[in-house]
Structure 1
């Protein structure tokens, strides 16, 4: 949706109005990738005022995970929970914000459930993804509701200006896991004005029992398998030197077997899930200073629960979006953006009836630099058909001491609109509740150089008011009410770079996620967690590993112990086209929990054979 022309590459793209600090050497500039999510406009990664993380195509090839949630777990400030194995429902927590308070976009398109207010991140497979950007912190002023904790933006693969090329992978591993992927991309004409990409993938695993029968005796002890079938396609055409447009499509279908702690041991439960993103876009240069971008899109989230062959409930959400964004170059180092967004959100369910929601939004932003000072300001007004309006703003400042060191500070106000479950679910919904509100402040110290990459240390605090909580009404029912308050403060560090020829990614977070209403820690948020990855190319080999650690966390019925998990990988280039990849997950066979009573995979291994046309 935002600047589909921008592609993440290792050499930096020089974008007018988004230039790095003037003292940076040209050799330093050439190593900076481009990100767009932190400002809704292209900028060098090291120039972002907000904490930003970039996972590019090499990071996707290196990771042991097969879905987006596993990769995003390596970002600073991010925790992932999962109710079982692959395909099971997962939770996304950015700086302690819940899944409903952390926004997920696919090519700029909202794909969350209207009922829950959260997206099914575990259904989005990496085979179809080109790169992922994560922005931590309060950015509703850029993206509207749900961006209190931050934004995860997923960019699907596109074609390149070269003859059509094909690729495939076949994988087999523990739990009888099988994965196949086939792709093609390139140009459809000699001058490269029309490019395309098509990727299809399938993953199937027998899995393991998702719930420990020792904790929940009524759960079925059988293995819980998962099947995912996904497809992504993109087509882009340059009509003139100033106008281009195209279409993008992503659909992921998952069937996940799961356990029910409150059923009987013979129950067979399945969830049928779908995430879809489809968009048509156009980009044009109206003048030398003014570019405009149009996107018409549809995002879907579908979920149906089946028990013993009978569908018991169904939730079909749809988000229809129109976005018009304009970027105006005021001067060389000063850019203004402004635009309009319209969203129609609907829910079709056999559990609740809800009227369609209509949202009209206007937004504006400014990024600029005066000498060593860097500025960012964003404002947004969202008008909802069901509860009224909400205002958001973001103010950021950065100061470069020299070519490498800088400090940043920001202050922001955000909101989360009530979900349809909050408003209309039978016996618990409350149509009169209002949006949750938050105010955030953060300050950071950053060092960036071409030799070691970008290191950043950030202190942050977010205060939540008007939180939606479910309080008893005296008759045995719990009704949604705006009664909650919370405060999350902490320190996070990140490093994306290299030591010599070794690519390194490291992060740590120390936080205090406090429920001020009940004076206790927020559930499933660890006070301390970290990750570290290192990968190195040695001749025809690329070897590396991941280390993910977390402290103890409170859950609804227990305290989850801390854990540390190590994953290893090795890839060998047999020829320029053929390669083989081997991975070991949970090397030390750790027994740990991401959610109370739910099992996690023990030690496992996979091997992949791949081919790409050169």
Structure 2
């Protein structure tokens, strides 16, 4: 795993009574280290040779995690990642000190419209058509612009299409009417191919129990959801050096917080991409992408759907790369038209965003590589603009050792929502935009060392992020004409520093055993504009210590049967957070809430029957962990849950 101070610690592999035939997906070193990644430099590099430390979640990792969406996957695989709730139970990401508004999540390099309490809608990002995920931590603004202050998570979908393929899968849980269904159809010829995927997920509302005399408001009911996700991709290759791709998707999610007026979330997206290999040394990539994300309330009695929010993005991108000798020169430009409608806004708001950037990848020798980049961003609203540089260096002093260090300047302009939003948060308070917000800026320094002897991979990584004018929510306040419900404004924090290190180790052995172990340490230092120790955050700060681990054994007994048994676990240290005693009545004041350390394990057995059938049996939260109090940021679980699933490939 990359981008973290991940230390995967291998154990001793005991001899087994029979010789194992290893599933190719379980092999790590040679196969995974040679996988090509693009996120760190926007140009193809093998994982081992990229000058920017990149963490890879491979297709094999995704299969073993049996995750439904990106949220399930990240918290299983990565240390320093925790998902919690905002006041209306919208999911919030904390990624080593940075929230979802500072982590840029891409699908095949394209941005996503819409967000829910500063995060994208993670339910959109299902794992049914994902090939792998590339993660770059730290300021990536020189390559990806605003919202990449804390890093980039790039979800890479499957590219290769089978001549003919059909896959159906289903999974049922033992609680909460938990159901997951999927269908994938693909067909390709000499020049044209198409892949269609459909998924359906269901989970009912369920109640959780709390101990006596809580010191702050607790959650009593966890709201489930019902979702549909449809995606289609068409590939056309008229010439050997020209490839065209069209894609479209539809997402629907319904939450029954109130049976009479359930909440609905929709997304409609589509786009075109082209890649032209002009010569052996010149490549041009171009794309157009459309994404519309809406929120609405459905009035059952009147059978009306009332849209209250819409975010629409139209984007164009050009990327040109010229290779000469051992080096690459890249130029790119992006244009984004952003439209925001909210029924509480005084009208609608639009913004044009334009950027240009250049990057020089200089392979000095086999032992030294330097990548430098410079980007210019312009935002039409308030005419905000910024130049952001980035430099990364890779040094290979001896065989199997890579040393990487770099610096990147981060930049995040306030979004239209953060400047102009006026939204009633289900009766809790009114989220109020602040047109006087200034952009965030940051300086990111990182250093890593990687040692890859044979079947092992050891990585240590340290980083320091110095953020100025961080945009976040402030203290709620009342106005003379509104004494019933407080306003929650967006503000700039004077200083927000995040430092940490990570360590990981990963290996596989010829007996069919694979293992990984990762540790992350995070420290946050916050200085507010006002000396106000009572500032309460709706989000939990990063837990200082976290560990994730995985071990599995894979064996093929015959051509008719194979078995994979895996165990995943994560542990997070305890933490305290200032929170409102009752966020429905902020006049009751603030208290210090303690969230204890906890660990959650998952065990899974995957049976391969013949060439076409897989049967999965698993238990999540194996040791039945339940928080004593379900405060806002506690793990929302009511104990162990068993799953049974089947996948059939034709």
TM-score by length of 2: 0.82
Deviation at 1:355, TM superposition (A): 1.8
Question: Are residues 408 and 430 of structure 1, via their aligned partners in 2, closer, same or farther at CA, if it must alter by over 3 Å?
Answer: same
Question: Are residues 410 and 283 of structure 1, via their aligned partners in 2, closer, same or farther at CA, if it must alter by over 3 Å?
Answer: same
Q: Match for 2:420 among 408, 421, 424?
A: 424
Question: Are residues 601 and 104 of structure 1, via their aligned partners in 2, closer, same or farther at CA, if it must alter by over 3 Å?
Answer: farther
Cα separation, 1, equivalents of 2:318 and 2:121: 26
Matched, 1:292 2:309: no
Aligned residues: 575
**Aligned residue number for residue 462 of structure 2:** 459
TM-score by length of 1: 0.86
Cα separation, 1, equivalents of 2:259 and 2:186: 44
**1:42-53 counterparts in 2 under 5 A?**
42-53=44-55
Contact 1:525 1:554 in 2 (8 A): no
Deviation at 1:530, TM superposition (A): 1.6
Contact 1:88 1:256 in 2 (8 A): no
Cα separation, 2, equivalents of 1:571 and 1:153: 27
Contact 1:212 1:598 in 2 (8 A): no
**Aligned residue number for residue 340 of structure 1:** 333
Matched, 1:174 2:174: yes
Partner SS, residue 46 of structure 1: coil
Matched, 1:326 2:363: no
Question: Are residues 123 and 211 of structure 1, via their aligned partners in 2, closer, same or farther at CA, if it must alter by over 3 Å?
Answer: farther
**1:3-402 counterparts in 2 under 5 A?**
28=30, 32-76=34-78, 78-83=80-85, 89-113=90-114, 117-160=118-161, 162-175=162-175, 176-187=177-188, 189=189, 192-209=190-207, 224-258=223-257, 270-305=262-297, 314-331=308-325, 333-352=326-345, 353-371=347-365, 372-387=367-382, 388-402=384-398
Cα separation, 2, equivalents of 1:40 and 1:450: 28
Cα separation, 2, equivalents of 1:55 and 1:276: 27
Q: Match for 1:489 among 472, 496, 499?
A: 499
CA-to-aligned-CA distance 1:473-517 (integer Å, 9 cap, x gap): 895755434343111111112335424432333321111112123
Contact 2:52 2:393 in 1 (8 A): no
Question: Are residues 519 and 553 of structure 1, via their aligned partners in 2, closer, same or farther at CA, if it must alter by over 3 Å?
Answer: farther
What's the Cα RMSD here?
Answer: 3.0
Which structure is higher in RCO with an 8 Å CA cutoff and minimum separation 6?
2
**Aligned residue number for residue 553 of structure 1:** 575
Contact 1:37 1:133 in 2 (8 A): yes
Question: Are residues 447 and 254 of structure 1, via their aligned partners in 2, closer, same or farther at CA, if it must alter by over 3 Å?
Answer: same
Deviation at 1:382, TM superposition (A): 0.7
**Aligned residue number for residue 411 of structure 2:** 415
Deviation at 1:347, TM superposition (A): 1.1
Partner SS, residue 203 of structure 1: strand
Cα separation, 1, equivalents of 2:116 and 2:255: 20
Question: Are residues 305 and 73 of structure 1, via their aligned partners in 2, closer, same or farther at CA, if it must alter by over 3 Å?
Answer: farther
Contact 2:391 2:406 in 1 (8 A): yes
